Structure 1
Amino acid sequence: MYILFAALLGLILGSFYSVCASRYGTGKTIIKPARSECPQCGHQLSVLENIPLVSFIIQKGRCKHCGVRIPFFYPLIEIFSMAWAVLAALHASSPAEWGALMIIGGICLVASAIDLQTFLLPDVLTYPGAVVILAASYAGVLHIDFIQSLLGAFIGAFALWAVAALYKLIRKIDGMGFGDVKFMLMLGALTGLDHLSIFVLIASLCALLFSIISLRKKVGISTTYIPFGPFLASGALLTYLYGNQIAAAIQ
């Protein structure tokens, strides 16, 4: 029952996360308009049209009003949110840890979705996320030593900033946004210094795999850049859950 509750809550929160991400930078807020609407025709969704994932499947991925295909962006966030809620529930040793992981995962999902759409990682997410993680570590809610968390945050952020600065010095162009550095402040706190290298390795491999698939399928982003935030988030979350096992496997 606990896992089922986690899955259902994850789906519901995922629907909320998709609203947060899709409305960022549009002048809309998470409370106005009060009801979700079709991104194409503006039709306000009824309750039956707004059931997380279920409505998308029943309507075959199309708006019931105008028939235009609904971006897969929305159900994908709901699926990832559900998956994270279940994984966090399976690994958390207490309700407090699960609650903290749900908050952290939610911030990561919204930030990643915004980065995919806009190449921006908002300060309103990254800085509070770092505070939440450090506070949870200090309180003993997360299974990570506070000093390790603190070192992971600042050394990780500094290392990423140094790489970005060196790239700009050599190539004379920006290779990474400063938002990634601030996101690293948050995510480095989650993995700690000991697992920082594992986190960066997973994030880099995920980004490399995405780039290869994109090139093979000619999925063109209009520039040569790819948003690194989603891969940083994936690497950090996976490292928190499986870092010890990965470290043992590669030794």
Structure 2
Amino acid sequence: MDAELWVPVLTAGLFGLLIGSFLNVVIYRLPKMLEREWAAGCAELSGQPLPEQEPFNLLVPRSRCQACGHQIRWYENIPVLSYLALRGKCSACGTPISIRYPMIELATGVLFAWCIWRWGLNLSGGMWCLFAAMLVAMTLIDWDTTLLPDVLTLPLLWAGLIAANLHWIPVPLSDAVWGAVGGYMSLWLVYWAFKLATGKEGMGFGDFKLFAALGAWFGWQALVPIILMSSVIGAAVGIVMKLRSSLRDGGQIPFGPFLAMAGITAMVFGPQSILRAVGL
């Protein structure tokens, strides 16, 4: 790597660590914010008074230990380093802190550095950093809650179409549009076919929107490789979880995380590499 490229790549990696720390907040708080909105809507429709609650959003209140309520100080919230300095425990009560927090920070930092190394410190590199951050957040939110919020899937879809139109990503606008249409409609048809055959819902509408967003970013030609990769990853994880008796009630596994992981795989290696990996 050229010496001149080290600086933007390293800077992007450090910035990615900070964004990863923010994504930890998004992953934990966004579903709770949505639950509050839904509860408020139900109360309004039923004519019930809304209970008084302290402000809760992505900025307030400040982060605190979920076990003892200790407010996290700024020097206890430095990505990765604070986790190591605290030895993975709360400084007040000693409750273990999930290793997932620094792993998300590291993953985001690595993805940001890779995007800038691959596309450069420009609009293209910035858009792919945005793409990676959104998928990291959606992977964990869907895994935790089986929700893919519209506030994430729809902006990702529109960002892909806009980026294609402005030539910030190497996908013609027509391919991006048909990728979005094909991504949404294909899973929509699978959903209804499964529901009519079994009377059950096999996936959520958020999966349609996420697949549509991936189609917008990679074009319609990438839909088959992405759905193939996500299915393989999902099947492998499902088998491991079943062997370890760790499946959730009902044996259901959210499909969104595997779509997101396939999207990141396509970003790093290219959609066609997925087909070559399986001999197609």
Category of TM-score, reference length = shorter chain: over 0.9
Distance 1:14 1:175 in 2: 31
The CA RMSD over aligned residues, in Å, is 1.7
Check conservation: 2:63, 2:72, Cα contact below 8 A: yes
How far apart are residue 244 of structure 1 and its match? 4.0
Q: Show the counterpart of 1:188.
A: 215
Equivalent pairs counted in the alignment come to 250
How far apart are residue 191 of structure 1 and its match? 1.8
Residue 18 in structure 1 maps to residue 24 in structure 2:
yes
- Higher Cα Rg: structure 1 or 2? 2
- Where do 5+ consecutive residues of structure 1 fail to align? none
Check conservation: 1:63, 1:70, Cα contact below 8 A: yes
| 1:41–1:223 distance in 2 versus 1, CA, 3 Å | farther
- Where do 5+ consecutive residues of structure 2 fail to align? 1-6, 34-55
Distance 1:218 1:103 in 2: 36
Check conservation: 1:6, 1:89, Cα contact below 8 A: yes
Residue 88 in structure 1 maps to residue 115 in structure 2:
yes
Q: Which stretches of structure 1, 4 residues or more, deviate above 6 A after TM superposition? A: none
Check conservation: 2:230, 2:262, Cα contact below 8 A: yes
Q: Show the counterpart of 1:228.
A: 255
The one-letter code matched in structure 1 to 2:57 is T
- How far does the alpha carbon of each residue in 1:77-120 deviate from its partner, in whole angstroms, 9 at most, with x for none? 21221221122122215511110011111221222221111111
Residue 54 in structure 1 maps to residue 81 in structure 2:
yes
Aligned counterpart for 1:66 among listed residues 93, 96, 101: 93
Q: Show the counterpart of 1:111.
A: 138
Q: Show the counterpart of 2:12.
A: 6
The one-letter code matched in structure 1 to 2:154 is Y
Scaled by the length of structure 2, what TM-score is found? 0.84
Same amino acid, percent of matched pairs: 32
Distance 2:70 2:126 in 1: 34
- Which residues in structure 2 correspond to 1:153-232 (within 5 Å)? 153-232=180-259
Q: Show the counterpart of 1:240.
A: 267
